[in-house]
Chain A
Amino acid sequence: MSIEYLGLSEINGPLIVLEGVRDAFYEEVVEFVVGGKKRKKGKIVAVEEDKAVIQVFDNTDEMSLKNTHTRLSGHPMEIGLSLEILGRTFNGLGEPVDGLGRIKPEAVRDVNGLPLNPCMREYPRNYIQTGISAIDALTTLIRGQKLPIFSGNGLPHDQLAAQIVEQASLGEESKEQFGIVFAAMGVKYDVAEFFRRRFEDSGVSSHVAMFLNLSNDPVAERLITPKVALTAAEYLAFEKGMHILVILTDMTSFAEAMREVSASKGEIPSRKGYPGYLYSELAALYERAGIVQGKEGSVTQIPILTMPNDDITHPIPDLTGYITEGQIVLERALHQKNVYPPINVLPSLSRLMKDGIGAQYTREDHQDLANQLFSSYARVGEARDLASVIGEDELSGTDKKYLQFGARFEQEFVAQGADENRTIEQTLDIGWELLHILPKEELDRIDTKILAKYYT
Chain B
Amino acid sequence: MSVTGTIFGINGPIVTIKGNLGFTMSEMVYVGEKRLVGEVIGLTKAQTTIQVFEETTGLHPGELVEGAGKAISVTLAPGIITNIFDGIERPLQLIGEQSGAFIPRGVNVDLLDRQKKWQARIMIKEGDTVSGGMVIAEVPETPAILHKVMAPPEVEGAVLWAAEDGAYTIDEALAVVRTKTGEEKELTMTQQWPIRIPRPIQRRFPADRLLVTGQRILDTLFPIAKGGTAAIPGGFGTGKTMTQHQLAKWSDADIIIYIGCGERGNEMTNVLEEFSQLVDPKTGNLLMDRTALIANTSNMPVAAREASIYTGLTLAEYYRDMGYHVAIMADSTSRWAEALRELSGRLEEMPAEEGFPAYLASRLSAFYERAGYVENLNGTDGSVTIIGAVSPQGGDFSEPVTQNTKRFVRCFLALDKSLAYARHYPAINWLTSYTEYLHDLEGWYVANAGTDFVACRNELLHILTTESRLNEIVKLIGSDVLPDDQKLILEIARVIRLGFLQQNAFHQEDTFVPIEKQLQMMKVILYLYEKCRKLVEMGMPMALLKEDQIFEKVIAIKYDVANKELYKFDEYHQSIDDFYQKLLETNA
C-alpha spacing A367/B479, complex, angstroms: 31
Which residues of chain B come closer than 8 Å to A447, judged between CB atoms?
A: 559
A268 and B348 form a contact (CB under 8 A): yes
Interface size grouping (class) on chain B: 35 or more
In the complex, how many residues of chain A place their beta carbon closer than 8 angstroms to a beta carbon of chain B? 84
Q: Of B270, B299, B355, which one neighbours A283 at CB under 8 angstroms?
A: B299
Q: Is B396 an interface residue (CB 8 A)?
A: yes
Q: Is B180 an interface residue (CB 8 A)?
A: no
Can you list the 6 inter-chain pairs with the closest CB atoms, starting with the nearest?
Answer: A270-B355, A313-B394, A283-B298, A378-B422, A48-B9, A321-B236
Which residues of chain B come closer than 8 Å to A112, judged between CB atoms?
A: 55, 57
Which residues of chain A come closer than 8 Å to B395, judged between CB atoms?
A: 313, 318
Q: Of B105, B273, B417, B424, which one neighbours A123 at CB under 8 angstroms?
A: B273
C-alpha spacing A28/B59, complex, angstroms: 9
B478 and A276 form a contact (CB under 8 A): no
Q: Of A280, A318, A385, A394, which one neighbours B298 at CB under 8 angstroms?
A: A280
Q: Is B568 an interface residue (CB 8 A)?
A: no
Q: Of B56, B95, B346, B552, which one neighbours A117 at CB under 8 angstroms?
A: B95
Q: Is A454 an interface residue (CB 8 A)?
A: no
Which residues of chain B come closer than 8 Å to A267, judged between CB atoms?
A: 345
C-alpha spacing A367/B506, complex, angstroms: 10
B355 and A276 form a contact (CB under 8 A): yes
Q: What mask results when residues 300 to 320 of chain A are scored 1 for a CB within 8 Å of chain B, else 0? A: 000000000000111100100
Take A47-B9, A327-B237 as given contacts and tell me if A118 and B269 are in contact as well, using a CB distance cutoff of 8 Å.
yes
C-alpha spacing A312/B417, complex, angstroms: 13
A46 and B478 form a contact (CB under 8 A): no
B269 and A123 form a contact (CB under 8 A): yes
Other contacts beyond A25-B58, A118-B268, A293-B101: 11, CB < 8 A: A25-B10, A267-B345, A269-B355, A270-B356, A271-B354, A280-B302, A283-B262, A284-B298, A327-B236, A347-B237, A378-B423
A118 and B391 form a contact (CB under 8 A): no
Which residues of chain A come closer than 8 Å to B8, judged between CB atoms?
A: 48-49
Q: Of A115, A124, A325, A378, which one neighbours B102 at CB under 8 angstroms?
A: A115
Q: Is B93 an interface residue (CB 8 A)?
A: yes
Which residues of chain B come closer than 8 Å to A351, judged between CB atoms?
A: 237
B339 to chain A: closest residue by CB: A280
Q: Is A336 an interface residue (CB 8 A)?
A: no
B265 and A385 form a contact (CB under 8 A): no
Take A270-B355, A275-B345, A313-B394 as given contacts and tell me if A375 and B423 are in contact as well, using a CB distance cutoff of 8 Å.
yes
Which residues of chain B come closer than 8 Å to A116, judged between CB atoms?
A: 101-103, 265, 299
Interface members, chain B 71-116 (any A CB < 8 Å): 84, 92-93, 95-96, 99-105
A280 and B342 form a contact (CB under 8 A): yes
Q: Is B11 an interface residue (CB 8 A)?
A: yes
* Most chain B CB within a 10 A radius of its CB, from A112, A114, A238, A389: A114
Q: What mask results when residues 384 to 424 of chain A are scored 1 for a CB within 8 Å of chain B, else 0? A: 01100110001110010000000000000000000000000
Q: Of B58, B266, B351, which one neighbours A124 at CB under 8 angstroms?
A: B266
Take A47-B9, A119-B92, A321-B236 as given contacts and tell me if A292 and B355 are in contact as well, using a CB distance cutoff of 8 Å.
no
A117 and B423 form a contact (CB under 8 A): no
A115 and B103 form a contact (CB under 8 A): yes
Take A26-B59, A270-B351 as given contacts and tell me if A287 and B101 are in contact as well, using a CB distance cutoff of 8 Å.
no
| Chain A nearest CB, measured from B112 CB (Å) | 16
Which residues of chain A come closer than 8 Å to B105, judged between CB atoms?
A: 114
Q: Is A113 an interface residue (CB 8 A)?
A: yes
B556 and A448 form a contact (CB under 8 A): yes
Q: What mask results when residues 318 to 336 of chain A are scored 1 for a CB within 8 Å of chain B, else 0? A: 1001110111000000000
Take A315-B393, A321-B237, A394-B478 as given contacts and tell me if A276 and B58 are in contact as well, using a CB distance cutoff of 8 Å.
no
Q: Is A361 an interface residue (CB 8 A)?
A: no
A26 to chain B: closest residue by CB: B10
Q: What mask results when residues 265 to 301 of chain A are scored 1 for a CB within 8 Å of chain B, else 0? A: 0011111000111011001101110101101000000
| Chain A nearest CB, measured from B58 CB (Å) | 5
A114 and B298 form a contact (CB under 8 A): no
Which residues of chain B come closer than 8 Å to A119, judged between CB atoms?
A: 84, 92-93, 95-96, 269, 272
Which residues of chain A come closer than 8 Å to B93, judged between CB atoms?
A: 119
Q: What mask results when residues 433 to 450 of chain B are scored 1 for a CB within 8 Å of chain A, else 0? A: 000000000000000000
| Chain A nearest CB, measured from B347 CB (Å) | 9
Q: Is A349 an interface residue (CB 8 A)?
A: yes
| Chain A nearest CB, measured from B306 CB (Å) | 12
A26 and B302 form a contact (CB under 8 A): no
* Most chain A CB within a 10 A radius of its CB, from B272, B345, B391, B395: B345
Q: Of A117, A374, A386, which one neighbours B421 at CB under 8 angstroms?
A: A374
B341 and A395 form a contact (CB under 8 A): no
C-alpha spacing A265/B68, complex, angstroms: 34
Which residues of chain A come closer than 8 Å to B555, judged between CB atoms?
A: 444
Q: Is B117 an interface residue (CB 8 A)?
A: no
Q: Of B260, B272, B299, B475, which one neighbours A389 at CB under 8 angstroms?
A: B475
